[in-house]
Amino acid sequence: MVGGGQGAFIGGVHRIASRIDGRFELVAGALSSNPERAAASAAELGIAPERSYASYEEMAQQEAAREDGIDAVSIVTPNHMHAGPAIAFLQAGIHVICDKPLAATPEQADEIAKAVKETGAHFVLTHNYTGYPLIRHARKLVAEGALGELRIVQVEYAQDWLTEPPEPDNKQAAWRTDPKQAGAGAIGDIGTHAFNLLSFVSGLKTEALSAELHSFAAGRQVDDNAHILLRMEQGARGMVWASQVAVGCENGLRLRIYGDKGGIEWAQENPNAMTFTRFGEPKQILTRGGAGTSPDGTRVPPGHPEGYLEGFATLYNEAADLISGTGDGSLLPGIAAGLDGMWFIGACIESSGKDGAWVAR
Amino acid sequence: MVGGGQGAFIGGVHRIASRIDGRFELVAGALSSNPERAAASAAELGIAPERSYASYEEMAQQEAAREDGIDAVSIVTPNHMHAGPAIAFLQAGIHVICDKPLAATPEQADEIAKAVKETGAHFVLTHNYTGYPLIRHARKLVAEGALGELRIVQVEYAQDWLTEPPEPDNKQAAWRTDPKQAGAGAIGDIGTHAFNLLSFVSGLKTEALSAELHSFAAGRQVDDNAHILLRMEQGARGMVWASQVAVGCENGLRLRIYGDKGGIEWAQENPNAMTFTRFGEPKQILTRGGAGTSPDGTRVPPGHPEGYLEGFATLYNEAADLISGTGDGSLLPGIAAGLDGMWFIGACIESSGKDGAWVAR
Amino acid sequence: MVGGGQGAFIGGVHRIASRIDGRFELVAGALSSNPERAAASAAELGIAPERSYASYEEMAQQEAAREDGIDAVSIVTPNHMHAGPAIAFLQAGIHVICDKPLAATPEQADEIAKAVKETGAHFVLTHNYTGYPLIRHARKLVAEGALGELRIVQVEYAQDWLTEPPEPDNKQAAWRTDPKQAGAGAIGDIGTHAFNLLSFVSGLKTEALSAELHSFAAGRQVDDNAHILLRMEQGARGMVWASQVAVGCENGLRLRIYGDKGGIEWAQENPNAMTFTRFGEPKQILTRGGAGTSPDGTRVPPGHPEGYLEGFATLYNEAADLISGTGDGSLLPGIAAGLDGMWFIGACIESSGKDGAWVAR
Amino acid sequence: MVGGGQGAFIGGVHRIASRIDGRFELVAGALSSNPERAAASAAELGIAPERSYASYEEMAQQEAAREDGIDAVSIVTPNHMHAGPAIAFLQAGIHVICDKPLAATPEQADEIAKAVKETGAHFVLTHNYTGYPLIRHARKLVAEGALGELRIVQVEYAQDWLTEPPEPDNKQAAWRTDPKQAGAGAIGDIGTHAFNLLSFVSGLKTEALSAELHSFAAGRQVDDNAHILLRMEQGARGMVWASQVAVGCENGLRLRIYGDKGGIEWAQENPNAMTFTRFGEPKQILTRGGAGTSPDGTRVPPGHPEGYLEGFATLYNEAADLISGTGDGSLLPGIAAGLDGMWFIGACIESSGKDGAWVAR
């Protein structure tokens, strides 16, 4: 693991996710750019001192050289620190599992893409919401034509934790609102999740977008609210709302897709249920693993809620399959999804800078 | 009543709404442009034959002349037939309660406005959702500053009844999708409700909008789906989604408003509950007439659901107050709300025609 | 109308309910046992002074004698004052619409039943929840066998308005907690609604019950919480919970029925939706008048919520049909439902007095 | 681990739960009474062949003898197979984590209790629902007096998976409906969870109960539906409904508690929210780790749902604390909770056999 030392958030999530299905063991890390914090964090996590590295470069080099070296690395640093380690490990022949968004700048993203292409190592981007069983069922319904020809996609991702200018000692808030480290605000941190999710489920490419970005909190240097219109393949139209200042919203990711034959509605905060309506018939409540859905990718029976960590774990589980050759990783977000997200971020910024002009691919 | 003969929908709603609080009696009508249907409808409704008129002109003239003539007329015709009767009755000194939107064209709207101004008769536009007790409570919360400075307004009004091209014998669908009679599609029929509601509750004027209108159903001549971005006073930003082709949505009008101190969320289909969150505190469920809200404008205690007809009835009740001088009608939508809605329709069409360019007032 | 003067609650509900469908006009009343309040109430309601009576006896006699005398009377007095007026009007040949429960004592109930039998006049008991369209749809589903053989009935009716000993000047609370006027507490006031509803929907007769009644509020003379087990026809089993001290519950009437093929769940506070599950299939959300249900007994399309008053109005509408001979009133609760409720009350008291011993019919 | 071989359900749950917080490693097992299945299961789970035992007796003996022997064993066998291994490991000085209910018979339960007492080894009973953060918050609210004096407890646990007589090859259903292996049906399998949960949260001891057990499915030898009334300390009253034949219910464990000052409502299927009402104030929605609750025992921020496995994992995490001396396990269900559950099962059977007579402790 690179990043994820004391005080970090997403590193801990990755660690739990990697343990749930018992396919990974954490044995090495460059957990912090601060050597003392790196060592202390490693000790806490049971990493042997000799495999706690002061830098990712060193870690890539030495782990590649070890006979019992790591199979894969998780990169859980702030966005601007993805490219460096990703490229180093890819080039060392170590598979990469990287947090989203892909990078802080398009240049960094392109360099990662180049390394993925050149090395042939696996690259998994943890758009974790694609791991929820009902999201996969939704994707299947769309692919099978149960919704007919898609018309409308409504996605929103609303939070309120950045309602007020954050305290300077909140590490999470600090880097996420720093343009240099994050690259963008709400559109990068959560907007890319929303965009990835709609693409994953609908199977449609977005051809153009019009965006209005906003910073509501005084002094904020990145967007904290975004209103985005989409034009998609096959004439479908979409709206995306991403906000970190919507008071009362915790982690309100919600997806709704409507076609000429059916519609679906899903909300992340209660992810074990989804509604599905065939036009002219009663709305159905589909449950994770329940009647009419597949138990694939679930661990416990319907009615026993799985949540955020299990969805995340499914990506780790399938990454293990991919690495071990027991699965093809066909549902795993990778470099293409990463580049797609970078286009989204860039197009939002460009469109918003041009008073909402449509920006095409 | 003008319009509302056999086969009509909204006329029956107005009639029930006018009866609920016992303030009106239906005694005269020009219920249909078809004389036989007019007479038959009148007979069904207990209107004396001599007060069932063949035309609204005749009705306005004769009722104005009667000593026991009507105090007010309800106009429940298709949009393009609002201006004629509205002006005739206003000029005859008879108060007008008119269905929304104000008219099918801006010219018609202006003529009605002129008549209202000149005659001084009361004009009530039945944006009925403003009559729901919790909507009024929401408006009060905003006005009192409980949400702080407003930042984001999210409104949607989603239905699915026009998912497929309508049968030619569906009277409701027929006129609502005829550009001449309706003036516009989803944005006029339901978009104006959404726009009115956000204006009513937020108290904010919309300064500019960017719209993308769409007709998904084959052969449809008006919009059936609209994605709209708003720029509002005081820097607030908004999104409006209006759709008549969102499969699984019945009458999904939903309002969410977020300020820097609080947020509210309300949905018309379960209108007796609303959530309210003060930043940093647990979300509250406010119920109609329940703890923390006022019983004003409610008829039965909390937990005994009131609905669409009661909200509508409140407009009739307050119209009666206004006409009888026992109330000032300060909460009633009138000609200003009507003109506001016409601006909304016009601006949506203009913006959509210009590839989403922002259209200011 | 008998009862329902100033300060009353349910009288106003009956008046609105009677107006909604425009089938009744309120023209006479004995609105209060206090002559001044009776007169003042009548004046407020537009009843002519000569038809505002000081007593129900006088009203029954004089209205029966008038050529334009009333067709039906609504009795909305406290429970112990049902029998007197009901019998007087029935014997005067005037149809009776009476609030529930039937009476305060079994003796009173039997006398009413005797009068109904002897006079042949119609008697409608306003168990208003039977008027909700989805309740009727539930009854139809059961009757058609969609649930299979019924096994389990779960009903609850929870409120919190009597959590604390009521203020002496609360007229509603005062009579409802006076054993002489009410006959019983929660089991009479709301328990009978719950019992009626389960009987109406399930079509099953309850053969025996075991009850534990309780008075939680200090000094309360009647039950404010009741836990009841039921043994029903065909081996079905049930539970009833009625409470007026369940903090946070407003008017929580909820019905769930499970058979060997399906299950339904409905809650009064959001009465426009009901779930229905066929074993092994996804749960469906049925909406009032929506796909899979009938629009009968609805006034507005699905998604436009009807509520408490409309459900109540349906009873008035069908009472009008019954009286005018245009309907058979087959769905209207009448004297049999009233006697059934009295058995329920009596059996609960008896069982509770015997430490929960089962009391059979 | 004892039990939990191929085809088992709860064993897998325990394994994931034990991994989530990274405190346990699975190194030994007697996974099946069938030696081949035991070996194959062990191989799948990465247990070294020499630590895959053919019997629990052998495992207890040999692990106790090893220097690197296990600290604790998880017993995940059918109910009638709890006592044997539990006693063997306790006597070998190995801590025990045992699935519920405690045993299939009171005699077995007493023997386990005796061994716990005599050996002083730790004994944790996985009433996993006590591990949900909001359940612990509910317990805290009650303990702090936020609900006032408790009056009413309503608990239900409804499933539908045994609606029809189970296939003979369903291993889960087979032992759960065999009186010898299970000891009881719904009351043991899920009723004890419900009973444990109400006891855990309310802090009240149940003094007596009256039960009506039922077997609806043809040929079933144990109860599949139970209706139970409770008399609790301090005059509180309760109802418990446990069913495995309620069509449409997946894992519907729901808890509601009302006192004279407040009420709470929680449902397991959406466990990240709970309502809390102070009498006379608006209902609040408390979220796991959200405003007004503690982040203790949570792994991810509010809005990122945790579920069944995380609740379960918390028991394992605290068991690790208890064993390692870093925690006192004060919230962990142990032998006392197990004996309490056995009393519940026995009293239900006794009461039901006596036509619902109240059975006291």
B332 CA to chain D: closest CA distance, Å? 28
Does the beta carbon of D215 lie under 8 angstroms from any beta carbon of chain C?
no
The CATH number linked to B26 is 3.40.50.720
Shared domain for B156 and B109, answered yes or no, is no
Domain end call among D92, D125, D158: D125
Shared domain for D94 and D166, answered yes or no, is no
| pLDDT digits 0-9 by tens, A261-285 | 999 999 999 999 999 999 999 999 9
Shared domain for C140 and C97, answered yes or no, is no
Shared domain for B214 and B270, answered yes or no, is yes
> Which chain B residues touch C12 with a CB distance below 8 Å?
299
Cross-chain residue pair B260–A160, CB shorter than 8 Å: no
pLDDT for res B171:
75
Shared domain for A61 and A116, answered yes or no, is yes
Q: Work out the average pLDDT over C261-265.
A: 98
Checking if the pLDDT of C239 tops 70, the result is yes
- The answer to whether position A22 is within a domain reads yes
DSSP secondary structure, B141-152, as one string: HHHHTTT-SEEE
- Mean pLDDT over each residue of chain A, to the nearest integer: 96
> What DSSP character marks residue C103?
-
> Which chain D residues touch C256 with a CB distance below 8 Å?
246
Does the beta carbon of B216 lie under 8 angstroms from any beta carbon of chain A?
yes
D76 CA to chain C: closest CA distance, Å? 28
Checking if the pLDDT of B166 tops 80, the result is no
Shared domain for A159 and A116, answered yes or no, is no
For chain C, what percent of residues have pLDDT higher than 90? 92
- The answer to whether position C279 is within a domain reads yes
CA atoms of C99 and C3, how far apart (whole Å): 11
pLDDT for res B7:
83
Does the beta carbon of C292 lie under 8 angstroms from any beta carbon of chain A?
yes
User: Could you tell me which chain D residue has the CA closest to the CA of C218?
Assistant: D260
Which pair of tokens denotes residue B128?
A: 């009925």
Domain end call among A64, A91, A125: A125
Q: Which of D161, D252, D304 sits opposite A251 (nearest CB)?
A: D304
Does the beta carbon of A286 lie under 8 angstroms from any beta carbon of chain C?
yes
Shared domain for C227 and C296, answered yes or no, is yes
Shared domain for A80 and A201, answered yes or no, is no
> Which chain A residues touch C292 with a CB distance below 8 Å?
281-282
- The answer to whether position D71 is within a domain reads yes
Tokens 């998904």 found at: B216
Does the beta carbon of D145 lie under 8 angstroms from any beta carbon of chain A?
no
- The answer to whether position B314 is within a domain reads no
> Which chain B residues touch D291 with a CB distance below 8 Å?
280-282
Q: Which of D22, D251, D310 sits opposite A303 (nearest CB)?
A: D251
Does the beta carbon of C62 lie under 8 angstroms from any beta carbon of chain A?
no
Helix residue spans in chain C (DSSP H)? 10-20, 35-44, 56-65, 83-91, 106-119, 133-144, 171-176, 179-182, 186, 192-202, 308-324, 335-353
User: Could you tell me which chain D residue has the CA closest to the CA of C261?
Assistant: D247
- Please state, in angstroms and as integers, the Cα–Cα distance from residue B103 to each residue in A217, B88, B182, B339, C215, following that order: 41, 15, 8, 9, 60
Shared domain for C138 and C117, answered yes or no, is no
Q: Which of B154, B216, B260 sits opposite A241 (nearest CB)?
A: B154
> Which chain A residues touch B276 with a CB distance below 8 Å?
248
Tokens 């329709």 found at: B345
Tell me, what amino acid is at B157? Y
Closest CA to D192 of D206, D175, D173: D206
pLDDT for res D179:
84
Checking if the pLDDT of B268 tops 70, the result is yes
Q: Which SS3 state, helix, strand or coil, does residue A184 take? A: coil
CA atoms of B151 and B232, how far apart (whole Å): 9
- Identify the H or E element spanning D70: none
> What DSSP character marks residue B2?
B
Cross-chain residue pair C282–A283, CB shorter than 8 Å: no
Q: Which of D239, D276, D358 sits opposite C241 (nearest CB)?
A: D239
Q: How would residue B270 be classed by pLDDT, with cut points 50, 70 and 90?
A: very high
Residue D84 CA neighbour count, 13 Å, CB half = 15
The CATH number linked to C294 is 3.30.360.10
Q: List strands edge to edge, sheet with A95-98.
A: A72-75, A95-98, A123-125
> Which chain B residues touch A246 with a CB distance below 8 Å?
152, 256, 258, 263
Are D175 and D82 contacting, i.e. CB atoms less than 8 angstroms apart?
no
List Cβ neighbours of C215 (8 Å cut-off, separation of 6 or more).
C185, C221, C222, C223, C224, C225
Tell me, what amino acid is at D309? L
Residues of chain D where predicted confidence (pLDDT) is lower than 70: 167-169
Are A228 and A208 contacting, i.e. CB atoms less than 8 angstroms apart?
no
| pLDDT digits 0-9 by tens, A218-261 | 989 999 999 999 999 999 999 999 999 999 999 999 999 999 99
pLDDT for res D337:
98
Q: Which chains touch C (3 or more CB pairs under 8 A)?
A: A, B, D
**B112 is in which domain, residue-wise?**
10-125
> What DSSP character marks residue B235?
G
Shared domain for C23 and C43, answered yes or no, is yes
Q: Which of B304, B310, B312, B324 to mutate to probe the C interface, most C CBs <10 Å?
A: B304
Cross-chain residue pair D246–C258, CB shorter than 8 Å: yes
> Which chain D residues touch C279 with a CB distance below 8 Å?
160, 163-164, 247
CA atoms of A205 and A340, how far apart (whole Å): 9
Between positions 219 and 258 of C, the ones with CB within 8 A of A are: none
CA atoms of A206 and C99, how far apart (whole Å): 61
> Which chain D residues touch C154 with a CB distance below 8 Å?
156, 241
CA atoms of C283 and C262, how far apart (whole Å): 10
Shared domain for B119 and B152, answered yes or no, is no
Q: How far apart are the first and last CA of chain C?
A: 34
Q: Which of B285-294, C108-117, C170-179, D202-211 has the lowest mean pLDDT?
A: C170-179
- Identify the H or E element spanning A262: strand A262-267
Domain end call among D125, D153, D175: D125
Cross-chain residue pair D245–C283, CB shorter than 8 Å: no
Shared domain for A118 and A173, answered yes or no, is no
Does the beta carbon of D287 lie under 8 angstroms from any beta carbon of chain B?
yes
Strand-strand pairing, B95-98 and B72-75: parallel
- The answer to whether position D165 is within a domain reads yes
Domain count, chain C: 2
- The answer to whether position B98 is within a domain reads yes
Q: Work out the average pLDDT over C94-112.
A: 97
Q: Work out the average pLDDT over C81-86.
A: 97
Cross-chain residue pair A281–C291, CB shorter than 8 Å: yes
Checking if the pLDDT of B170 tops 80, the result is no
pLDDT for res D167:
60
Cross-chain residue pair D246–C227, CB shorter than 8 Å: no
pLDDT for res D270:
97
Are B281 and B179 contacting, i.e. CB atoms less than 8 angstroms apart?
no
- The answer to whether position B326 is within a domain reads no
Are D241 and D249 contacting, i.e. CB atoms less than 8 angstroms apart?
no
pLDDT for res B168:
58
Q: Which of C20, C251, C300 sits opposite B303 (nearest CB)?
A: C251
Q: Which of C9, C250, C290 sits opposite B303 (nearest CB)?
A: C250
| pLDDT digits 0-9 by tens, C166-186 | 765 677 788 888 888 888 899
- Mean pLDDT over each residue of chain B, to the nearest integer: 96
- The answer to whether position B325 is within a domain reads no
Tell me, what amino acid is at A178? D
Q: Which of A237, A259, A283 sits opposite B225 (nearest CB)?
A: A237
Peptide bond before D101: cis, by omega within 30 degrees of 0?
Answer: yes
